[in-house]
Each structure stands twice: as C-alpha cells, then as structure tokens.
Structure 1
Amino acid sequence: MILGPQATPTPPGPGSGTLDEVCPGVHAWVQPDGSWWVNNAGAVAGGDSVLVVDTCATEARTRRFLDAVHTSTGGLPVRFAVNTHQHGDHAYGNSLLPASTVLFGHPNMREGLRMDPVIEGCPPLWDPVPDWGGVTRRLPHVTVESALTLHLGDRRIDLLHPGTPAHTTGDLVAWLPEERVLFSGDLVFAGLTPLVFMGSVTGALSAFDWLASFAAEALVPGHGPVLRGPAIDEVLEQHRRYYRFLIHTAEDGRSRGWSALEAARQADLGEFAGWADAERIVLNLHRLYADHEGRELDIPAAFGDAIAWLGRPMHTWV
C-alpha cells in the first residue's frame, strides 16, 4: 500500500486563502492545500452586483472569503450565489451570505444539504475534528435541474448540470461564455485525489468529455490551483486515468472475492501515489461496489474502511 504525502510542516491555516483575479471582475478564492474540507470558491462581478460561487466549510474561512470579495469588488452587493454541490466545504458558509442573497443549487444538492447531519457536529473521522463555528443550515432558494442563465449587467453566467451523476447527483458548474472561464466545483480536483463516493465513477468519467467541450481558457477546480490553457486537458486526462484505474481495481477485486478495503490494500497507486487524500480510493471503490451490486452506499462502512486503510483518522487543515 502506498500512502499519499505527509503533511507539510507549516499548516495552511484559515488565513492562507487568496482571491486571484482570473480576468477582470472574475475571481477565484484558492485555499491551500486543497485537501479535506479546504475548498475553492469564487466571485463574479457584473453591473451593480456580485455572484458568489460556493462558500467555505467554516465561519472563519467563509468570513475571510467574503471580506476579500467585498474589498476586491468595491463593496458591490452579493445579490446571487450558487452551490456547485451539497458538500459542506462548499456550502456550510451559506448562512453568512447577506440575507438578501438569492441562492441557487440543483434539487439534489438542496435535499442533500437539508438532510446533512454533519453540519450539526462532525464525527471524529478527521484529525483534528473540524469546528464549523457559527454557521447554520441555509438551503438554495432556487433550484436548477439542468440549466439557468444569470445576467449581471452585460456579463452572462450559465449554471449547468452535467446530465449524469458525477461527483454527486446534484452538481452544477458556472460557465462564463464570453470570458471562457469555468467554475467546475468538485468535478475537478487539481493535483489531489478525486472523490466520487456520493456520485458515480462512470458518470464522472463521462463528464470529462462534457467539461472538455467548453474549451475553457481558465478552469477553477473545486480544490487545487486554477488551471489555464493546456493544463486543463492535462488534468482532465489525469482524472480519466484515475477513474479507469478505479474501475479496473474494482473489477479485479470482485473477481477475486475481495471487499472494497481488500481491493484497495492490494492496489498499487502508481502515478497517483503522490496525490493528497489517497485514502479516497477506498471510498471510491465502495461506490463502484455498491453500484455493481445495485444497493445503496453504506457511508459509515466506507469511512470506517478508509480509516482502516490509512491506519489513523483522515487529516484536515480546516
């Protein structure tokens, strides 16, 4: 078994995020090191208002993000926000948005956040156990099944669903066709182990052709650095190889009568060994096993096996 890299000596704390201008008025909030619970978000200014793309896991991180947006946009009001999916690192900070902000999300994203118990207290699966601070559950006001277009002055933003379960069953991307900037959410992890245990490995694999079809000039992933030019296709192709590796590992494991944990323990991560959060192989294999057997995913069992594979609780800088 090959583990991912060890934690860096200097923790990337809540103050380490940066608001990078992708193009005029379009910003990516990038938080290192992008591992568990440490996400990217974004802000798009147009006309007299701002659209925020995702929030953050904790009160401290979300407040820092929103303060940076306020400064960089000259205090324009955040009139709109979108959640790219239901996971708390992209949605727990929703309650810190202005009360007047109209929040968009896929129907499955809304239901997933509505039922999420982790916002009320994180189980000790991570070390340290995350403290979300003063956040409360806030659900989207408007749901988007497949597509919706927003206009901020002359700026157009398309909110689009990939048409298949992928990272989750309720993913949305935010696409700026004039600027050719794509906010992919967690359909893309740049330089980290992807996670699809609440979606579909095969669906995520098929979604990469859809993502490539945008021919984006800049892509803001859900985790990791902003991608530009040829780096976009390179990272998409890395994802394709990883998901094919997962499918092969699951097929081989089932043929040998191995559990998802046993299959993960026998697998050689190869080129993916250097990616952070390598234990996600176990969660992803649980997804493939459940789909093959036509059953619901046993989430507690999947996390238990991930910790068993790793030999300790999963690490987070949140």
Structure 2
Amino acid sequence: MSGTEDAAQLVEVGSGIHAWVQPDGSWWLNNAGAITTPSGQLVVDTCATETRARRFLDALSTATGRAPKLAVNTHQHGDHTYGNSLLPAGTVLIGQENMREGLRTDPIIDGCPPFWSPVPDWGDVQRRLPDITVTDALTVHLGDRRVELRHPGGPAHTTGDLVAWVPDERVLFTGDLVFAGLTPLVFMGSVSGALAAVDWLAEFGPRVVVPGHGPILTGDDIARVLDEHRRYYRLILRTGAAGIENGLSPLEAARAVDLGEFAGWADAERLVLNLHRFYADHHGSELDLIAAFSDALNYNGGPLPTHV
C-alpha cells in the first residue's frame, strides 16, 4: 500500500455527512464522500482504481453500517468515476447528461496512455454509466434531508459538472470546481466558465466545502481558496489573450508567464492544458487532447507524476 493510499481517511464533516480525502490530491487522487440517513445513503463520486475505490467503500460501510442506495458523479473524469462499477449492483447512479456521454466515450478507462508516471493501473473496473441524468438540477430526499444536485449553468471544469449541496448542514461537495491548494484544471470545460462558477459557489454560503482535490475547507479558508481560484483563472485569461496577440503557441505562452503565488502548487503543467482550452475557445475550434498533453509533458520535462 502506497503512503498516499495509507493516508486516505474518512472524515465526518456534518451530521451523517462524510468526506473521503486522499492526499496529496494531485493527478488521479480525488476526494469523495457520502450523505447517510436512516432512510438511505447517497455516495458522492468514487475513485480511480479498484484498490482505492474498495478502500473508500469499505471505510464508509464500516462507519455507517449502510450500503448506498444512490450515488452521484460530480463529473466524468476517471478519478471520480472509474470505481462506479464497485458500487452495489442495486445502487442507482446519477450524473449530468454531458457527464454520462463523456464517460461513455472515455478511452482512458480501457488503457491509460503514458502521459503519467507511473502509468496508473485501474485494476478490475468497468465502465458504469449513470442510470439517471440531470440537465440543471435534481433534489434527492433521504427522508427529511434534502441533497440538491446542481449544475453551474455552463461549462466550467467540464461541460457536465454537478455539485452536491446539503442545505441543513451547509456542506457543499464541489467536485473539481475547487482544487484546494493545487493547480485547477479546466481543459475540458471553460476558463471563463470556471471563473463564473467560483462566484456561483460562493452564493451557497457553505460552512464546509469538500473540494474535488485537496483538504476540506471551513471558515476563512473557503473565501481564501475561492479568491485564489479567481486570481488564477484571471491569470490564464490574461496570459492566453497576450499569447494570441503576440502569436505565441499555448506552450510558448505558458513558458513566458511568471506563475508568482501559484508557482508552489502541484501540477503546475496544467497551465498549458488550460491555455489550450483558452486558445480553442478563442478560435472556435476543438481542443486537440494529444497536442495539449504533449505540450504539458514538454513543459514538465517528462511524464506527469502521479501517486495513484
């Protein structure tokens, strides 16, 4: 068992509300969680590998004595979805419409390309798609407890993001709309949309934020991290606009920018991926995933590190 795997822990962040936190939160190391009441349990996301997903679900079962009646994926990426097939067969899975289609066509579950080192081994997982899809919003009732599943209204981290909001405890599972202390990633969404989503998240007025990656946030740390996201996305917008004006490629623009306060964040090469998204949106073209990741590896000086 790796050190990061051993450090994963289940934390109760509200009455019957648990977060599964996997340090260090970098590539493929996500957070997940669950809301449990006497009437049922809703799991929020799974994990990338068979081993990690089983450890999460076993810890949740031990802590709550329940099996999930429902589950939701906050978006399509494999660190939040590949473990879906380890949920009980009777668990009803929910996702945003675009998320379902994204996972349906995702080739990485069938064999991870050598963009990362070491190349992740997913284990015995199969593609399991949502049974129910949401466009904008859906409310799940676990007895007297409401869990609101909400879409930010446009592309942000991806085109199919959902948050899970528990209003009576003011706990917000943001999925990858928030990376706490790590470089955000929006190459499958929108830079401007991700920036707009930060204000949308703040409007919930959460007491606890469970980010998609990184530590749980409470108190003043919530506003601090949201402000960091605003500044980072504005840096991407400025860098992308200047790069296009000066005839630079996304990789050249990335190499020219001073990351400043963000230089110490893990996965800094996501700057290149985010700039590829900005350029694609500016030109009205499809993002070339192979070219984007090839540039990210070039910027990084080799394959991207992961501890999954």
Among 307, 311, 317, the alignment partner of 2:301 is 311
Residues in 2 aligned to 1:311 and 1:80: alpha-carbon distance in whole angstroms? 42
Give the secondary-structure state (helix, strand or coil) at the position aligned to 1:174: strand
1:45 paired residue number: 36
Give the secondary-structure state (helix, strand or coil) at the position aligned to 1:301: helix
Among 217, 234, 238, the alignment partner of 1:244 is 234
Quote how far apart the aligned CAs of 1:189 are.
0.2
Q: Does structure 1 conserve the Cα–Cα contact (< 8 Å) formed by 2:77 and 2:103?
A: yes
Residues in 1 aligned to 2:2 and 2:59: alpha-carbon distance in whole angstroms? 21
Tell me, which stretches of 5 or more residues in structure 2 are unaligned? none
1:131 paired residue number: 121
Quote how far apart the aligned CAs of 1:11 are.
5.8
1:47-66: per-residue Cα shift (whole Å, max 9, x none)?
Answer: 23211000000000000000
1:4 paired residue number: none
Amino acid at match of 1:83: N
1:266-297: per-residue Cα shift (whole Å, max 9, x none)?
Answer: 11110000000000000000000000000000
1:3 paired residue number: none
Matched, 1:89 2:79: yes
Structure 1 residues 98-247: aligned runs within 5 Å: 98-247=88-237
Residues in 2 aligned to 1:137 and 1:69: alpha-carbon distance in whole angstroms? 22
1:20 paired residue number: 11
Give the secondary-structure state (helix, strand or coil) at the position aligned to 2:188: coil
2:291 paired residue number: 301
Q: CA 1:199 to 1:16, structure 2 compared with 1: closer, same or farther past 3 Å? A: same
Residues in 1 aligned to 2:2 and 2:44: alpha-carbon distance in whole angstroms? 25
Residues in 2 aligned to 1:65 and 1:244: alpha-carbon distance in whole angstroms? 35
Residues in 1 aligned to 2:297 and 2:136: alpha-carbon distance in whole angstroms? 36
Aligned alpha-carbon RMSD (Å): 1.0
Q: Does structure 1 conserve the Cα–Cα contact (< 8 Å) formed by 2:4 and 2:24?
A: no
Quote how far apart the aligned CAs of 1:77 are.
2.0
Q: Does structure 2 conserve the Cα–Cα contact (< 8 Å) formed by 1:48 and 1:76?
A: no
Amino acid at match of 1:230: D
Among 8, 20, 29, the alignment partner of 1:29 is 20
1:61-108: per-residue Cα shift (whole Å, max 9, x none)?
Answer: 0000000100111x2121000000000000000000000000000000
Residues in 2 aligned to 1:309 and 1:228: alpha-carbon distance in whole angstroms? 34
1:66 paired residue number: 57
Q: Does structure 2 conserve the Cα–Cα contact (< 8 Å) formed by 1:168 and 1:199?
A: yes
What is the TM-score when the length of structure 1 is the normalising length?
0.96
What is the TM-score when the length of structure 2 is the normalising length?
0.99
Give the secondary-structure state (helix, strand or coil) at the position aligned to 1:148: strand
Structure 1 residues 246-261: aligned runs within 5 Å: 246-261=236-251
Residues in 1 aligned to 2:38 and 2:303: alpha-carbon distance in whole angstroms? 46
Tell me, which stretches of 5 or more residues in structure 1 are unaligned? 1-9
Residues in 2 aligned to 1:188 and 1:11: alpha-carbon distance in whole angstroms? 25
Residues in 2 aligned to 1:12 and 1:203: alpha-carbon distance in whole angstroms? 35
2:282 paired residue number: 292
